[in-house]
Amino acid sequence: MATRKNKKIEVTVIGAGLAGTEAVYQLIRRQIPVRFCEMRPNRTTGAHTTDLFAELVCSNSVGSNLPDRASGLLKEEMRLLGSYFMDVAYKYRVPAGNALAVDRGAFSREITRYLKGHNLIEFVNEEVTKIPEEGIVIIATGPLTSPDLMKSLEKRLGEGHLEFFDAIAPLVSAESIDMSIAFKGDRYGEPGKGDYINCPMSKEEYLAFVDALLKAERIPLSEMEKSERKKYFTACQPVEIIAESGIDSLRFGPMKPVGFADPRTGRRPYALVQLRQDNLLASLFNLVGFQTNLKHGEQQKVFRMIPGLQNAEFVRLGQMHRNSYINSPELLEPTLQLKKDSRIFFAGQISGVEGYTESAATGLIAGLNASRIIQGKEPVVVPPETMLGGLIHYITFSGHKKFHPMNANFGIFTTDGKLKGELRREMIIRSARKKLREFYDKI
Ligand SMILES: Cc1cc2nc3c(=O)[nH]c(=O)nc-3n(C[C@H](O)[C@H](O)[C@H](O)COP(=O)(O)OP(=O)(O)OC[C@H]3O[C@@H](n4cnc5c(N)ncnc54)[C@H](O)[C@@H]3O)c2cc1C
């Protein structure tokens, strides 16, 4: 292998995005030389517009900064673990209320300048099209991983273990559903019993809902996304597109009320929205058939018109976009190593997390664990009681019917069900802080 200032390079990090830059930083701060590969600007992703590292492709907000919010707790944990992403984000913070927003140009320029000039880093400005055969490799090529690398990953990981496009329905916390309106039950099942939660609608409610859905603003799709969607998701139409095809399309499609009676009236509702359990704990439910491309604010407004969801807490909103990610529950250890080849790590959005902070957070753990292997130590698993550990547990735990990427939220934790709302959240935060401190003292 090549050497860097007389030190053998044993680690390659692919992708200079949020996960890759954090992973590289964690290695060099432990004096480990790295080969760092990035394809831009020679090859572009279609969303990035600069040649800078750690480019924020869309919003300049990296989420809530409040200590009692999931994203705030994740940030607190990352700071304790010595996150570079956090240091630079706070350095270039711009006013944004309770959110942490950054001057995106200054943020990315600083990270690029520091890492490109570092004497432990050999920067390779090339597209990587297959996994290097030697040394430890961290794959952090993001949601827009180049097609040639995706092909090669598919060959290596096996067919059906890679997703190219994400069409997800919103996810709500169970405790925020108003069960005095919504009811449990399966289609044609015994009333009051069953796996689904159902939100019944009268004719007036349905017509008002469809009207609002059609008027709501959508996220424009890029040409590439339009063609990818055609290729992979012809059968998976956004709910607003189904609504466009006729006033009754939804009630004969995903909002079909047949086989149900509203317990309040004993009669079949005019339409009905079904919610399906999304995690083993039954703390999260997704809106069945509600893949959507509406703007996030619009989703909250329109979907809260569904009876029973008027106060819903949306822990994840619907999306339809190009998103390359692997089937982590099947493929990854909670150390972020590939089960079949422990020298390979995945981090960032390609590992199945969603969001800037979450991507950097998994980069931190991949970088930390790669360093530990080089130092002759065992890789570590972050305690699942922490926000970061809970997130990694979620993406590497094989209890999902269909795995979709996940962001930091309180619904991913298993609690005994005795505490609800604020009290549950406080208990999770207390336990996360304690466990993270213990973890920090150990590493
Ligand atoms: C259009 C879009 C908008 C988004 N908006 C937001 C948002 O507003 N807020 C939010 O929290 N999250 C957002 N996300 C989700 C996600 O948080 C970001 O994509 C985030 O940047 C992911 O971090 P990452 O490090 O995994 O990937 P990236 O930051 O994308 O970094 C991956 C890097 O790998 C490089 N690369 C890819 N393939 C190769 C290859 N074969 N060889 C070498 N280099 C390669 C890419 O050029 C890129 O620099 C968005 C995603 C997309 C696609």
The per-residue pLDDT for range 84-118, each reduced to its tens digit, is: 999 999 999 988 888 898 998 999 999 999 999 99
CA distance 47 to 100: 22
Regions in the chain scoring below 70 on pLDDT = 1-7, 222-236, 280, 417
The residue segments making up the domain with residue 247 are 171-319
Gap between the Cα atoms of 201 and 69, Å rounded: 32
> According to the model, what pLDDT value does residue 81 have?
98
pLDDT at 435: 97
Question: Which of these three, 319, 349, 365, is where a domain ends?
Answer: 319
What is the CA(209)–ligand 1 centre distance, in A? 34
Same domain, 278 and 349: no
Please list, in sequence order, all residues whose beta carbon lies within 8 angstroms of the beta carbon of residue 44, skipping any fewer than 6 positions away: none
**428 and 413 in contact (C-beta within 8 Å)?**
yes
Residue 28: CB partners within 8 Å, gap ≥ 6?
Answer: 34, 115, 118, 120, 121
Domain count, the chain: 2
Domain boundary among 271, 287, 319: 319
Q: What is the pLDDT of residue 179?
A: 96
Neighbours of 7 (CB within 10 A): 12
pLDDT digits (tens, 9 = 90+) for 34-43: 999 999 999 9
Q: Which of 45, 65, 123, 168 to mutate to test the pocket of ligand 1 (most atoms within 8 A of CB)?
A: 45
Handedness of CA 146, 345, 81, 63 (dihedral sign): positive
Same domain? For 312 and 391 the reply is no
Determine the pLDDT at residue 189.
Answer: 87
Chain-centre distance of CA 416, in angstroms? Answer: 25
Of 224, 199, 207, 352, the residue nearest 290 (C-alpha)? 199
45-61 pLDDT per residue, tens = 988 989 999 999 878 88
CA of 22 to the centre of ligand 1 (A): 13
Closest residue by Cα to atom 13, ligand 1, is: 355
Confidence at residue 422, expressed as pLDDT on a 0 to 100 scale:
84
Instruction: Identify the pLDDT of residue 222.
Output: 66
Residues lining ligand 1, judged by CB closer than 6 Å? 14-20, 37-40, 45, 47-48, 57-59, 127-128, 140-146, 149, 321, 348-350, 355-356, 359
Task: Indicate whether 347 and 314 sit together in one domain.
Answer: no
- Out of 269, 289, 319, a domain closes at 319
274 has which bridge partners?
A: 198
350 located within any domain: yes
Quick: pLDDT tens for 302-312. 999 999 999 99
Query: Cα separation of 90 and 100, whole Å?
Result: 8
Q: How many CB atoms lie within 10 A of CB 187?
A: 14
CA of 81 to the centre of ligand 1 (A): 22
In a domain, 74, yes or no: yes
341: domain CATH number is: 3.50.50.60
Strand partners, 172: 285, 314
φ, ψ (nearest 5 deg) of residue 400: -90, 140
Q: Has residue 166 been placed in a domain?
A: no
Q: Please report the atom of ligand 1 found closest to the CA of residue 43.
A: 47
Are 141 and 67 in the same domain?
Answer: yes
Residue 177 alpha carbon to ligand 1 centre in Å:
33
What integer pLDDT is reported at residue 225 of this predicted model? Answer: 61
Same domain membership, residue 350 and residue 312: no
146 and 179 part of one domain: no
User: Ligand 1 centroid to 140 CA: how many Å?
Assistant: 9
Distance of CA 386 from the midpoint of ligand 1 (Å): 24
Q: What is the pLDDT of residue 358?
A: 98
Do 350 and 373 have their domain in common? yes
What is the CATH number for 205? 2.40.30
Residue 400, in any domain of the structure: yes
Looking at the fold, whether 310 and 333 belong to one and the same domain comes out as: no
My answer on whether 212 and 239 are in the same domain is: yes
Rounded to two decimals, the pTM is 0.81
Q: Tell me, yes or no, whether 298 and 188 share the same domain.
A: yes
Is 64 domain-assigned? yes
For residues 241 and 183, state if they share a domain: yes
* 128 Cα nearest atom in ligand 1: 42
Within a domain: 221: yes
Give the span between the Cα atoms of 167 and 175, in whole angstroms.
25
Residue among 323, 349, 395 to mutate when testing ligand 1 (max atoms within 8 A of CB): 349
379 part of a folded domain: yes
Based on its alpha-carbon atoms, the radius of gyration of the chain, rounded to whole angstroms, reads 23
150 and 255 part of one domain: no
Q: In angstroms, what is the span from residue 127 Cα to ligand 1's centroid?
A: 15
**Beta strand residue intervals within 250-339, DSSP E:** 271-277, 284-287, 314-316, 319-326, 337-338
